[in-house]
Amino acid sequence: MISQFQESLHLTARTFQSEMLDTTFEDVLEHIDSGIMLFDEEGVLSFVNKQMYGMLDLPRSSLVGCTMSHLLAHVQLSRFKKKLVLRIYRETVYKGKPSYEYVDEFGRYWRVTLSSGEQLKGSYLFTVKEISDYKLIEQTAYQNDNLAMLGKLSASIAHEIRNPLTAIRGFIQLLRPHLHQLGKEEYARIILAEIDRANDIIHEFLTSSKPSVPQVGMISVSALLKEVVLLTESEALMKGCQINLHQLQNDLIISVDVKQVKQVVLNMIKNAMEAITDRIDSDMGRIEIGARREGAEVRIFISDNGKGMDILTLDRLFSPFFTTKESGTGLGLSVSDRIIKNHGGCISVSSRLNEGTQFVISLPLIQ
């Protein structure tokens, strides 16, 4: 009788310890910084912690007991999250990948890890953790590696590019008297100016891993933009684009390296032309260019109605060597960003897929 009582006491103690242990584990899972979902062997959601139902923006009571199909059909789950859950299921469960990374609607990076097998007795454990800080470190290291590689490439290709331009410039100077006799000396002047600008662009590309000091001079924003439009409007018309230069104030004066800033604006207009060319529809392409005063700064805007960009492209837009073009170097916007920063300004960009893109260049005004 006593032995039966002792055995019953031990059994009760073990049950109590087991329940206490389960409660402790649940408390730990409830407060860790990762989202957790556990589906049992029948595909029913049996446990979800606070982080996870916060990510889904759903109450816990409406989640526990759901299957994946029920979750995807949940009326309170946003369309974006439904697509995301379906993509995660396809990549991990269906394709058998142990982890999957994605970017949410706010530009944050997340990693989903799936654990299953004999140790979980047929259950599926999904763990979701934010890795934005890790990605930032990774991208910084990647950018530093690219800059180091760029520095090594610069010395080997500088002469190969510059020598032909030097030869062309020399022959144009020899032909200049003949063009003068034909009344076409203006052609020689334009060609020489563009060769010099090409040399400056090459110099910027090849030295993009180290800062250069701008050779500043005063110019009105109106004159700068009119000159850029004059250089690009014929090419734009050939590509089915119309450039509209908005009326500008004459008192917007900036102190900049004119060649460098002109290079930045030209680069953005050419990017806009390519974005318009890549559109699916056949509507007339439009590029809007203008400037306005904002306190002690001028905001130069270049907008288009091209194909636009997604959030992943926007996130890496100014990284060296990142490009979405088949023949691009991925240096244009990286160099442009550095040029504007060297002038004490900044570049911002906003874009929507199939709607268009707007770049805004902010530069300090001369009062």
Residue after which a domain boundary falls, among 130, 157, 189: 130
Spatial contact of 325 and 274, defined as CB atoms under 8 Å apart: yes
DSSP labels, 101-128: EEE-TTS-EEEEEEE-SGGGTT-EEEEE
Residue 164 lies inside a defined structural domain of this protein: yes
CB atoms within 10 A of CB 343: 21
Which residues of the chain form beta strands (DSSP E)? 35-39, 45-48, 99-103, 109-115, 124-130, 217-220, 241-245, 253-256, 285-294, 297-304, 346-352, 356-364
CA 237 to chain centroid, in Å, comes to 29
Share of the chain above pLDDT 90, in %: 10
Is the residue at 19 inside a domain? Answer: no
Closest of 38, 39, 40, 81 to residue 58, by C-alpha: 81
Domain residue limits at 108: 32-130
Question: Among 15-24, 228-237, 356-365, which is the least confidently predicted range?
Answer: 15-24
pLDDT at 319 over 80: no
- Considering the chain, what is the average pLDDT of its residues? 79
**Statement: residue 302 has pLDDT above 60:** yes
So what's the pLDDT on residue 17? 43
**Of 130, 155, 172, which residue constitutes the final position of a domain?**
130
- CA–CA separation, 308 and 358 (whole Å): 9
Provide the pairing of β-strand 217-220 with 109-115: unpaired
User: Same structural domain for residues 233 and 163?
Assistant: no
Q: How many CB atoms lie within 10 A of CB 169?
A: 15
Task: Please determine, for residue 57, whether its predicted confidence score (pLDDT) is greater than 50.
Answer: yes
The pLDDT tens digits of the residues spanning 109-144 come to 888 888 877 777 778 888 888 888 887 777 777 766
Whether residues 199 and 117 share a domain: the answer is: no
185's tokens: 């000396």
Domain end among 82, 114, 130: 130
2 within domain boundaries: no
Distance, CA of 93 to CA of 234 (rounded, Å):
54
Residue predicted with more confidence, 56 or 349: 349
345 has pLDDT over 60 = yes
Residue 153's domain is classified under what CATH number?
Answer: 1.10.287
- Give the CATH number of the domain where residue 251 resides: 3.30.565.10
- Structurally, the chain folds into a number of domains equal to 3
Q: In which band, very low, low, confident or very high, does the pLDDT at 307 lie, cut at 50, 70 and 90?
A: confident
Residue 17 domain-assigned (yes or no): no
